[in-house]
């Protein structure tokens, strides 16, 4: 069975600083990987996804993620964080049961002025 | 506007009182699912449906029922709610990718409290 681990429950960064959110997955085949963002009181919005090909994928809002098969990781990065990026971020992998997503526990990002 | 709607958005109820959370999508999607979100656990799938009259259990189906009589609607039913079902619930829909991924669209969430 697939699983996703986000080791950092909370992260605080200063506005303008760079950001990296960690995600490790366990899956037997080539994974489909995703990052979602959830702003307070809102639903989930897809930031980016990886299916195949180029291991560095670009998403919305200036985010990118790099797939590293050897490390079973799909870390999310942003070079300069804005206060509006404060939210909870979820990494997910598509599972075997057709379109079923398995989510990590989430990382809550706080941005200091 | 393409969207997934859920009602109610907030609900406080008591143990044992049957309730239904509705979910509707206007994108003609075949696939719909329900998730619950709990702190530190992320989202876990409760039930999913690959088309009308086709439903199956996800990771945490105990205490829940679903039905899919129409393509657009996928209600979540709690026959006898218990406090451990206090959670934030999300409905999602997508087209049947047939082996390729299609983006899942999530509803705004329903915050349920069972006293």
**Closest by alpha carbon to B76, among B3, B4, B2?**
B4
Find which of B43, B56, B99 to mutate to test the A interface (most A CBs within 10 Å of its CB): B43
List the single residue in A with minimal CA-CA distance to B98: A98
Yes or no: say if A64 and A49 are a contact pair by the CB < 8 Å rule: no
Find which of B34, B40, B42 to mutate to test the A interface (most A CBs within 10 Å of its CB): B42
Query: Does the structure show a pLDDT above 60 at A41?
Result: yes
Q: Which of A41-55, A72-86, B1-15, B18-32 has the lowest mean pLDDT?
A: A41-55
Query: Does the structure show a pLDDT above 70 at B74?
Result: yes
User: CB-CB: which of A99, A104, A105 is closest to B94?
Assistant: A99
Instruction: Please give the average per-residue pLDDT across A88-113, as a whole number.
Output: 85
Report CB contact under 8 Å: A99, B33.
yes
Beta bridge partners of B32: B49, B93
Instruction: Please give the average per-residue pLDDT across B23-32, as a whole number.
Output: 94
Instruction: Please give the average per-residue pLDDT across B4-30, as a whole number.
Output: 96
Q: CB of B61 within 8 Å of any CB in chain A?
A: no
- Give how far B102 is from chain A: nearest CA, Å: 8
**3-state secondary structure labels for all residues of A85-112:** HCEEEEEEEECCCCCCEEECCCEEEEEE
**Percentage with pLDDT > 90 across chain B:** 78
- pLDDT band for position B9 (50/70/90)? very high
Residue B97 has what pLDDT? 57
Residue B96 has what pLDDT? 67
Residue B53 has what pLDDT? 92
**Percentage with pLDDT > 70 across chain B:** 94
Q: CB of A93 within 8 Å of any CB in chain B?
A: no
Q: Write out residues 68-107 of B within 8 Å (CB-CB) of A.
A: 90, 94, 96-97, 100-104, 106-107
| Average pLDDT over chain A, rounded to an integer | 91
**Residue given tokens 């919305």 in the structure block:** A60
For residues A99 and B114, the model is more confident at B114
- Give how far A90 is from chain B: nearest CA, Å: 7
Which structure tokens are listed for B70? 């129409």
Which structure tokens are listed for A86? 């404060």
Using CA atoms, how far apart are residues A78 and B49, in angstroms rounded to an integer? 36
Query: Does the structure show a pLDDT above 70 at A83?
Result: yes
Strands (DSSP E) contained in A23-100 are 24-26, 33-38, 44-50, 56-58, 64-68, 73-78, 87-94
Longest dimension (CA), chain B: 42
pLDDT (tens digit per residue) in B37-63: 998 888 999 999 988 999 999 989 999
A100 vs A8, A16, A49, B6, B70, CA distance in Å?
24, 35, 15, 20, 21
| Average pLDDT over chain B, rounded to an integer | 92
Instruction: Please give the average per-residue pLDDT across A41-55, as a whole number.
Output: 87
Residue B35 has what pLDDT? 95
- pLDDT band for position A16 (50/70/90)? very high
């Amino acid at each position: 069975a697939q699983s996703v681990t986000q080791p950092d429950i909370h992260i605080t960064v200063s506005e303008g600083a760079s950001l990296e959110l960690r995600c490790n997955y366990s899956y037997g085949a080539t994974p489909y990987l995703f990052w979602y963002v959830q702003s307070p009181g809102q639903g989930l919005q897809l930031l980016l996804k990886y299916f195949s090909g180029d291991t560095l994928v670009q998403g919305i809002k200036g985010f990118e993620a790099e797939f590293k098969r050897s490390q079973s990781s799909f870390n999310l990065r942003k070079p300069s964080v804005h206060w509006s990026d404060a939210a909870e971020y979820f990494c997910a992998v598509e599972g075997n049961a057709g379109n079923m997503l398995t989510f990590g526990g989430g990382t809550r990002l706080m941005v200091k002025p | 506007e393409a969207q997934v709607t859920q009602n109610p958005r907030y609900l406080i109820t008591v143990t044992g009182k049957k309730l239904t959370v509705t979910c509707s999508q206007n994108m003609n999607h075949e696939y719909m699912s329900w998730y619950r979100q709990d702190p530190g656990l992320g989202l876990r799938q409760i039930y999913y449906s690959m088309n009308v009259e086709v439903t199956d259990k996800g990771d945490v189906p105990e205490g829940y029922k679903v039905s899919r009589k129409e393509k657009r609607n996928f209600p979540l039913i709690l026959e006898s709610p218990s406090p451990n079902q206090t959670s934030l619930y999300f409905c999602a829909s997508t087209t049947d990718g047939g082996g390729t991924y299609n983006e899942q669209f999530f509803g705004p969430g329903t915050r349920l409290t069972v006293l």
